[in-house]
Amino acid sequence: PFGCKGGRLDKRTGLVECLCFAGAVFGWASLVFVLKEEGYFSSLCVNGTGINGTYVLDCTEQDEQFSLIFTIASFMNNFLTLPNGFLFDRFGTTVTRLYGICYVFCFFFSFLVLAILLFPALALLAVGGILFLMTNMQVGNLFGSRRSTIITLYNGAFDSSSALFLVIKLLHERGIALRSSFLFLSACSVIHLLRTFFLLPRKLIPYPLPDNYTYGITCGKSDNRIGEVAENGDAQKVEEVPLNKDKSFRDCLLSRFFMWHLLWLSVMQLRHYLFIGTLNPMLQRLTAGESSLVSQYTNAFAITQLCGVLCAPWNGLIMDRHKGKPRAEGESEQEVDLRATVLSLFLTALQCLLFSICASTPYLPLQYLTFVLQVLNRSFLYGGNAAFISVAFPSCHFGKLYGLVMALSAVFSLLQYPCFALVKVLDGDPLYVNIGLTLLSLLAFIHPLSVYLHCRSVSSQRVKNKAMTQSS
């Protein structure tokens, strides 16, 4: 579907980049275990009295500090996607990736200086990672009928990269210093630079692709004119790139699809963020503070994250299942794609409900199932989010809409900190908060229902129009 093998090479190297670096921030639970052993914020732990009058070390304030760091990082991860989306649409791939590389590089060095620098450091890692994902997802434009599958595959790799901190934890347990691990990872920034300048286009990959579109070092000279024209929003002047410009950015923003999609993403994302941010204290509570069990379950959680890259393409295959098949008379390609998203949106909401129910149950062995459902749902959630935006709205607005929906969902995710505070008021028992979030997650079912009703309405109208035409 494109002019050279460079796209296939870039797909593979982009997958490795997302798998190894982009979503590392979501492996926070593994890193917290190491940071506690390294003594970060240990001054916040105080001596307390246990049930039997024995002295115990109360580290509640230390846990709150780590939860706050993750809250800020997860907020910045999403909120700054808005300006980064405009940056990507306006200046293209190279400029956007250079910003991301700088953010990730700064993370590894600021992390090693002072504990208080964990706040900006983790936020830098989160923002840099989402920039890597954003610039890699456009490679899906090269694969035509498998576009959604490729987009969800990259998002799955993004989720699985949270296992990076598990590797650091395991190395730390075998005597490898945290500083050494981070210095090695900072040196890997060279890989990002090589991909930026030799394996990715300077501007954007247009969709649909023009004939003989090429880019990258293996392709010779690219048709930069097409990329620049598409990037500046003038692609309709180029006959080979017939971008759908029917809707303005404002029309997309005020549409029912965008509003319900935002709610769909926000309620499920809040549930995941609260789960990750409180995983360590939850395990401490369920294991009665037994360090070996906490480590065992933390490792199990991190290992399941590796399955994200395997689960995410299932969602893409669901969304691409009607591609290449005969369509009803008068049915557009976008209608077919929208109809295919209904099942994906519904399954994602159902997975979140089941995950939330398991996470709310204070039974330790059940948490293995919780971990599996969590990674399955996360891989469907973020892959489905990007794929739905690419299907429902014009590609020329993808970066802006993707950034905006992530930014607005980040504002909603700030509710996690009041939830942390409420758990503290309830003596550390998150049961009632979890029940409330489980009920809140039911709102996610509105979106697939809305898309289904829209598709049925459009289909009905098409049949009526056809009948009127035949009768006349």
Domain segments of the chain: what residues?
Answer: 5-208+248-324+331-457
The superfamily CATH assigns to domain 5-208+248-324+331-457 is MFS general substrate transporter like domains (1.20.1250.20)
What's the pLDDT band for 230 if we cut at 50, 70, 90? very low
- The Cα 331–Cα 71 span in angstroms is 44
Digit-coded pLDDT (tens) for 159-190: 788 888 888 989 998 989 888 888 888 888 88
Residue 210 per-residue DSSP state: P
Instruction: Tell me the backbone φ, ψ of residue 2, rounded to 5 degrees.
Output: -145, 175
Digit-coded pLDDT (tens) for 299-315: 888 788 777 778 888 88
pLDDT over threshold 70, residue 347: yes
- The Cα 378–Cα 312 span in angstroms is 9
Q: Which of 54, 32, 33, 36 is nearest to 45 (CA)?
A: 36
pLDDT over threshold 50, residue 232: no
Strands 46-49 and 55-58 come out as antiparallel
3-state helix, strand, coil in the chain (%, to 5): 75, 0, 20
Long-range contacts (CB closer than 8 Å, 24 or more residues apart) made by 119-124 = 119/68, 119/69, 119/72, 122/25, 122/28, 122/69, 122/70, 122/72, 122/73, 123/72, 123/73, 123/76, 123/77
Tell me the average pLDDT of the chain.
Answer: 80
What's the pLDDT band for 472 if we cut at 50, 70, 90? low
Identity of the amino acid at 52? N
- The Cα 391–Cα 430 span in angstroms is 38
- The Cα 262–Cα 266 span in angstroms is 6
Identity of the amino acid at 364? L
- At residue 1, the pLDDT reads 38
Contact 367, 297 (CB under 8 A): yes
- At residue 234, the pLDDT reads 38
Average pLDDT (7-16) is: 68
Global model pTM greater than 0.75: no
Under DSSP, is residue 444 helix (H, G, I), strand (E, B) or coil?
helix
Q: What angle do CA 106, 383, 340 make, to 5 degrees?
A: 160
Q: What angle do CA 420, 423, 427 make, to 5 degrees?
A: 140
H or E element in which residue 459 lies: helix 446-471
